[in-house]
Amino acid sequence: MNTPNSLRTLGILGGMGPLATVDFMQKIIALTPAEEDQQHIPLIVHSVPQIPDRSSAIIANTDAPFLPMLEGLRQLERCGVEAVLIPCNTAHFWHERLSQATHLPILHIVDAVTHALAQQQITPAACMLLATRGTRQAGIYQRANNAMCSGFQLPNEAEQAQVDNMIHFVKQGKLSLAQQSGAALINTLRQKGVQRVVLACTELPLAMEPTQHPDYFINATLALAQSAVHFALQQQTGTVV
Amino acid sequence: MNTPNSLRTLGILGGMGPLATVDFMQKIIALTPAEEDQQHIPLIVHSVPQIPDRSSAIIANTDAPFLPMLEGLRQLERCGVEAVLIPCNTAHFWHERLSQATHLPILHIVDAVTHALAQQQITPAACMLLATRGTRQAGIYQRANNAMCSGFQLPNEAEQAQVDNMIHFVKQGKLSLAQQSGAALINTLRQKGVQRVVLACTELPLAMEPTQHPDYFINATLALAQSAVHFALQQQTGTVV
């Protein structure tokens, strides 16, 4: 798709969950330098929340989310998008297979976080990684050859249970409950001496961002939005794809 | 598209502007009774803000937005959506022609507002309609045979200029400026004795919702979201289109 001002069109494979997709879109809009509508980045968004739960699938060792995600990817292809973003950390378990099935680049959320950590000169050992059980079990952040994302602190069982609850509250739209829970967990982690927290599930910013200064977080949603905006704007100064 | 729980898939012809589209999605999500992702409504969102400015086109008597909107509509058709929503009041100037060009129902934002007024037993004479100059000039709310939307109070030139500024601030992402301006205008209108305000531009809720009790507003974005959710859930109990 050619847009008048040569911004690249982005495809969002979303709905995992729906509010996280909206949060991701909001971050893209906020990061885009624009004085009027037409300077904003064109987005095609496949927000189809019927994709089976990713974390449960990883834990149960089933492949149920793959084909529905592939169907969404095909729709984005047909709409002429130039890159794909998946605002769901756990879904990145299928990133490699989805990438192999398309000519489109799918920007990886862990690459985006790696970049954010490097830019801010933060070492993983100083951070606690908060994520779904699926993301943890699959080691999505512990990919090979990625020293920047090895060695994160991980929550204990009680803390993980609080993370699970927060995610569930957000998916139910119970944001004030999620934020109460988020504030309590941050309090616990601060007392334990945790210096920073990686929000490695896209529901978590909705629970935790309002409770604390943004510097306390490495926000994976924000990092992916930064990569997305960088990609979309690139065409203005670079070559036309 | 068949979704596991028989929710109808909605298409959003958005990006006019981008934040208004996100606000509309957020309202759909908040209005949907859901305990988990899979119970939320599937949405395909064409948020392509390069569609030329609707208000300017009406005032200049050009047709520039029509073909780009039609292109977006075609993409939504190809994605298998079952109804289309346009979260931009001014764009409804082209509603009839777009409807004639597709087999899909395009729910009309003025019908949604009419329904909201009727439900709350509010007469137009008690309300001031805040909208773009294009919406006003085209008489989008003063459609034939719609007594519920005839006879609104309209802002004077100074008030309209404040509305224009607010819309512009939202499109620039300057939400705190927009909200300051929104609070000032509400103050003026309250002093004039305006009982209620129809937010008939989808940027306006972002400027005005946080400044006042929601009962003061007839929010066209919210009304359209209510119609959208009603349509999407209908299939669970009613007939399949």
pLDDT at A144: 59
Q: Does residue A54 sit in the same domain as residue A68?
A: yes
pLDDT at B6: 85
What type of residue sits at position B142?
Answer: Q
Q: Does residue A206 sit in the same domain as residue A229?
A: no
pLDDT at A3: 45
The pLDDT confidence band at residue A145, using thresholds 50, 70 and 90, is low
From B109's Cα to the closest Cα of chain A, the distance in A is 20
By the 8 A CB rule, do A50 and B3 touch? yes
The per-residue pLDDT for range B28-69, each reduced to its tens digit, is: 999 999 999 999 999 999 999 999 999 999 999 999 999 999
Residues of chain B with pLDDT under 50: 1-4, 235-241
Q: Does residue A117 sit in the same domain as residue A26?
A: no
Question: Does the beta-carbon distance from A75 to B45 stay under 8 Å?
Answer: no
Asked if the model's pLDDT at residue A205 lies above 90, the reply is yes
The mean pLDDT of A194-222, rounded to a whole number, is 93
Q: Does residue A143 sit in the same domain as residue A59?
A: no
Contacts of A49 in chain B (CB under 8 A): 37-42
Asked if the model's pLDDT at residue A237 lies above 50, the reply is no
pLDDT at B107: 98
Alpha helices in chain B (DSSP H): 18-31, 54-60, 66-78, 95-100, 109-119, 133-138, 157-171, 175-191, 204-208, 220-237
Domain span at B189? 110-219
Is A83 a member of any domain? yes
Check which CATH number belongs to the domain holding B115 and give it: 3.40.50.1860
Contacts of A39 in chain B (CB under 8 A): 49
> How many Cβ pairs closer than 8 A exist between chain A and B?
139
Question: Does the beta-carbon distance from A15 to B42 stay under 8 Å?
Answer: yes
Q: How far apart are CA A47 and CA B32, in angstroms?
A: 14
Is B201 a member of any domain? yes
Residue of B nearest to A80 (CA): B75
Q: Does residue A82 sit in the same domain as residue A180?
A: no
The mean pLDDT of A99-110, rounded to a whole number, is 98
The mean pLDDT of A39-50, rounded to a whole number, is 98
Contacts for B77 with CB less than 8 Å, ≥ 6 apart? B11, B102, B103, B104
Nearest to A46 among B44, B48, B52 (CB): B44
pLDDT at B123: 87
Q: Does residue B228 sit in the same domain as residue B196?
A: no
- Interface with chain B: mutation pick from A16, A50, A233, highest number of B CBs within 10 Å: A50
Q: Does residue A149 sit in the same domain as residue A103?
A: no
- Interface with chain B: mutation pick from A13, A47, A86, highest number of B CBs within 10 Å: A47
Is B5 a member of any domain? no
- Interface with chain A: mutation pick from B1, B35, B36, B48, highest number of A CBs within 10 Å: B48
Q: How far apart are CA A50 and CA B191, in angstroms?
A: 49
The per-residue pLDDT for range A55-83, each reduced to its tens digit, is: 999 999 999 999 999 999 999 999 999 99
From B22's Cα to the closest Cα of chain A, the distance in A is 6
From B5's Cα to the closest Cα of chain A, the distance in A is 8
Asked if the model's pLDDT at residue A86 lies above 60, the reply is yes
Question: Does the beta-carbon distance from A40 to B46 stay under 8 Å?
Answer: no
Q: Does residue B15 sit in the same domain as residue B79?
A: yes
Q: Does residue B114 sit in the same domain as residue B212?
A: yes
Q: Does residue B154 sit in the same domain as residue B211?
A: yes
Is A5 a member of any domain? no
Asked if the model's pLDDT at residue A238 lies above 60, the reply is no
pLDDT at B241: 37
Nearest to B38 among A1, A46, A50 (CB): A50
Q: Does residue A195 sit in the same domain as residue A122?
A: yes
Question: What are the CA-CA distances from residue A3 to residues A125, A230, B216 (Å)?
Answer: 43, 17, 39
Is B3 a member of any domain? no
- Our CA angle for A25, A30, A36, nearest 5°, is 100
ipTM associated with this complex: 0.94
Q: Does residue A125 sit in the same domain as residue A146?
A: yes
Tell me the average pLDDT of chain A: 92
